[in-house]
Amino acid sequence: MKSSRSQSRATARIELVLYISASSPASVRAVANLRRLLRHYKRGQIDLTVCDLTTDPSCGEADQIAFTPTLFKRQPEPPMWILGDLSRPEPLVELLEFYGVEATHGHS
Amino acid sequence: MAIPKLTTGIPGFDIVTHGGIPEGRSTLVAGRSGTGKTVFGLQVAAHLATHSVPVLVVGVEESADDLLNTGDGLGLDLSGLQAAGKLHVADLTRPMEGPTVVSGEYDLYGLIHRLEAAVKDRKVKVVVLDSATALFSPRPPQEQLRNHFFQLVSTLRRLNVSGIILAESLQDYGQLTSLGVEDYVCDLVVILRNTIDADRRRRTIEVNKYRRSGHFKGEYPCTVTTKGLVIFPQNPRERPDIVPVERFSSGVAGLDEMTRGGWLRNSIVIVRGPTGSGKTMLAGLYARAGALRGERVVYYGFEEPRPILVRNFEVIGMPMTPLINAGSLRIVCRYPESLSLEDLLVTLRVGIEEFSPSLIVMDSISSIEHASSEKGFRQFIIGVASLLREHGRSALLTQAVVAGASTEHTAPYLSTVADAILSMDYSPTGYELDRTMRVIKMRGSDHDTHPYRLAIAGGGLSVEKLTPAEFARRTRSA
């Protein structure tokens, strides 16, 4: 039972949306921090979209976005909001590990 | 020069703020949970949207659907306004099951870009934020929080949008809001309170500050009705039209002679006297005479249930039922203990607006006094007077005092309110009750200040002037 659940977790697709604003320095840092972090993981399981609210202010409506940068985990349920520039990577690392995303062993 | 303002449509609020909220600036509405902040925000939103000022409501505490339902429940028709494109709701609620964690620095651009878009695409002029407290949760470090809030308010100002920002307080008195950063950058700060005063719930509103504008100082009673917040500014807004001197009969022939032709129109008469002095009868005659003249009259009885009051009038030869059936008289009986004074004021206001009576009787204000704190009663009386003056109505209020004390000093707020004071009294020493009546004061009219003998007979009261000798004899025997 337990193993089958972690099995399904491991194969679950993770849908992430990074909401940013081009006007915000923290957003620019978040983009760089996220790209650097994801380099350590196999990307096959992860769908990442970056939404710039400067060009499309309404794209964050459905996900209740008030702050930038916000990394929003849309799938799997339940949703999760990670506010901030990811200079503290632990919340995202924990999330990826929870869903069994495999680390790449190559150096970056 | 007066600053530009937007009216809110909240009864009384535009009076205490000398015209409403500041246009293009931000207003902070602070209060504990349950003080009516959301109701305030939705009422203003509906009022402005109805008057073609596009409004965006940003809901962080409650979902868009819940806010719309709350508004519709208050008869504000937010759904209709939304469908008509006059009101927009942004849902920023985050479901409880979805956690929010912090991974570093962030800013408010998500919301700011949405505000910019709402102004550009939907011509939004007013933003209601419900609430700042929920928006800034999880709460960032104080300095960052201050920056975020400042950024929000300065964005609204840059966009020339009037902000109505709701914020939670932890207590009625003390630090204004739990975040503690909002009031510095808002031009108008309003505090809503919901306190207990002498075992009774009392809601008040206070304008804490208003930059570049005058306003009423101190706390004013308010209440949340089924139609929203109502504030009692306790400031008589005099009707601008000059009222010609007009008199009407008191229903008691001799009394009309004492007052040289009857009570003055638009005056408040207070009748003071001990129990059994005939106050209720006098009040009934006042109501009956008015209704028989074809006026509309409301009689508020606070002493006994309606059927008993109506029956008692019937028994003493003053049938009220035909007048009630003819639609010229309304008798409303309430137990003051079961209503808050604010609700009672709402009852009176609604009664005046719906039935439009020219005469109002309240028998007795003492039963209200006994069921409230001194401060609450004083505010109530001033509220009643404001209401009567605002609408230009005449009223008769009865007040119970101990026997022999009916001509004694009246509480200052009562004598200020009364245009005329009539004392009814008796001396119980003789074989018969020696009843007397005396006009203590009557503004704007000559009147007979001498004591009159009063007789209670079937169908009415009769008065007759006492000679000095008779009066001296009575005083001696008393």
pLDDT in tens, B134-164: 999 888 999 999 999 999 999 999 999 999 9
**Chain A hits for B110, Cβ within 8 Å:** 19, 21, 53, 60, 65-68, 70
pLDDT surpassing 50 at residue B333: yes
pTM confidence score = 0.72
pLDDT surpassing 80 at residue A106: no
Contacts of B95 by beta carbon, 8 Å cutoff, 6+ apart? A78, A79
- Could you tell me where the DSSP H helices lie in B299-364? 306-315, 321-325, 341-355
**Chain B hits for A91, Cβ within 8 Å:** 101-103
- Could you tell me where the DSSP H helices lie in chain A? 2-11, 25-38, 90-98
- Averaged confidence pLDDT in chain B: 88
Res B298: pLDDT: 95
Q: What is the token pair recorded at B411?
A: 């509480």
Residue predicted with more confidence, B60 or B462: B60
Residue B235 pLDDT grade (very low, low, confident, very high; cuts 50, 70, 90): low
Mean pLDDT of A11-17: 88
pLDDT surpassing 50 at residue B47: yes
Q: Is residue A91 part of a domain?
A: no
d(CA B4, CA A27): 38
Res B378: pLDDT: 87
What amino acid occupies position A6? Answer: S
Domains in chain A, number: 1
Question: What is the domain range of residue A15?
Answer: 2-83
B145 Cβ under 8 Å from any chain A Cβ: no
- Could B106 and A91 be called an inter-chain contact, meaning their C-beta atoms sit closer than 8 Å? no
Residue A90 pLDDT grade (very low, low, confident, very high; cuts 50, 70, 90): very high
pLDDT digits (tens, 9 = 90+) for B265-312: 989 999 999 988 889 999 999 999 999 999 999 999 998 999 999 999
Residue A62, min C-alpha distance to chain B (Å): 8
d(CA B31, CA B16): 18
Task: Provide, rounded to the nearest whole percent, the portion of chain B with pLDDT above 90.
Answer: 54
Res A9: pLDDT: 59
pLDDT digits (tens, 9 = 90+) for A32-75: 999 999 999 988 889 999 999 999 888 888 888 999 999 999 98
- How large is the C-alpha radius of gyration of chain A? 14
Q: Is residue A36 part of a domain?
A: yes
Lowest mean pLDDT among A68-72, A77-81, B327-331: A77-81
Helices (H) and strands (E) in chain A, counts: 3, 4
pLDDT digits (tens, 9 = 90+) for B370-425: 888 888 888 888 888 888 887 888 999 999 987 767 666 667 778 888 999 999 98
- Could A53 and B114 be called an inter-chain contact, meaning their C-beta atoms sit closer than 8 Å? yes
CATH number at residue A31: 3.40.30.10
Res A1: pLDDT: 42
pLDDT surpassing 70 at residue B238: no
Residue A108 pLDDT grade (very low, low, confident, very high; cuts 50, 70, 90): very low
A84 Cβ under 8 Å from any chain B Cβ: yes
Q: Kindly give the pairing relationship between strand A46-52 and strand B420-427.
A: unpaired
For domain B5-231, say whether CATH 3.40.50.300 is its number.
yes
Mean pLDDT of A11-23: 90
Cβ-contact B192, B43 below 8 angstroms: no
d(CA B78, CA B63): 14
Res B328: pLDDT: 94
Closest CA to B91 of A80, A51, A58, A62: A62
Mean pLDDT of B432-446: 85
> Could you give the ipTM of this predicted complex?
0.88
**Chain B hits for A61, Cβ within 8 Å:** 90-91, 114
Res B67: pLDDT: 95
Q: What ranges do the domains of chain B cover?
A: 5-231, 247-477
Res B248: pLDDT: 93
Res B185: pLDDT: 92
Mean pLDDT of B326-338: 88
| 41-70 in chain B: CB under 8 A from chain A | 60
Residue A95, min C-alpha distance to chain B (Å): 11
Mean pLDDT of B318-345: 89
B91 bridge partner residues = B59
d(CA B9, CA B12): 8
Residue B1 pLDDT grade (very low, low, confident, very high; cuts 50, 70, 90): low
Res B116: pLDDT: 94
Cβ-contact B195, B58 below 8 angstroms: no
Lowest mean pLDDT among B69-73, B120-124, B404-408: B404-408
Cβ-contact B109, A24 below 8 angstroms: yes
Res B186: pLDDT: 95
Res B476: pLDDT: 63
φ and ψ of B368, to 5 deg:
-75, -40
**Chain B hits for A26, Cβ within 8 Å:** 104-107
How far CA B102 is from CA of B121, B143, B446, in Å, comes to 32, 16, 78
- Could B91 and A64 be called an inter-chain contact, meaning their C-beta atoms sit closer than 8 Å? yes
**Cis ω on the peptide bond leading into residue B138 (within 30° of 0)?**
yes
The closest CB to that of A68, out of B99, B101, B106, belongs to: B106
CATH fold match for the domains B5-231 and B247-477: yes
Res B475: pLDDT: 66
pLDDT surpassing 50 at residue A3: no
- Averaged confidence pLDDT in chain A: 86
Residue B104, min C-alpha distance to chain A (Å): 4
Burial tier of B222 (Cβ tally within 10 Å: 0-12, 13-18, 19+): buried
Which of B101, B103, B154 is the best residue to mutate to test the A interface, defined by the most A CB atoms within 10 Å of its own CB?
B103
Res B380: pLDDT: 87
A38 Cβ under 8 Å from any chain B Cβ: no
Residue predicted with more confidence, B324 or B202: B324
Q: Which CATH architecture has domain B247-477?
A: 3-Layer(aba) Sandwich (3.40)
Sign of CA dihedral B298, B301, B307, B310: negative
Residue B467 pLDDT grade (very low, low, confident, very high; cuts 50, 70, 90): confident
Which of A28, A67, A77 is the best residue to mutate to test the B interface, defined by the most B CB atoms within 10 Å of its own CB?
A67
Considering A80-84, B274-278, B434-438, B464-468, the range whose residues carry the highest mean pLDDT is: A80-84
> Could you count the other beta carbons within 10 Å of the beta carbon of residue B422?
27
Res A10: pLDDT: 60
Res A2: pLDDT: 45
Residue predicted with more confidence, B286 or B234: B286
pLDDT digits (tens, 9 = 90+) for B173-186: 988 999 988 888 99
Res A43: pLDDT: 86
pLDDT surpassing 70 at residue A107: no
Sign of CA dihedral B470, B471, B475, B478: positive
pLDDT surpassing 80 at residue B432: no
What amino acid occupies position B10? Answer: I
**Chain B hits for A69, Cβ within 8 Å:** 106
d(CA B328, CA B292): 8
Residue predicted with more confidence, B32 or B411: B32
- Could B92 and A64 be called an inter-chain contact, meaning their C-beta atoms sit closer than 8 Å? yes
> Could you count the other beta carbons within 10 Å of the beta carbon of residue B174?
7
Res B8: pLDDT: 96
**Chain B hits for A96, Cβ within 8 Å:** none
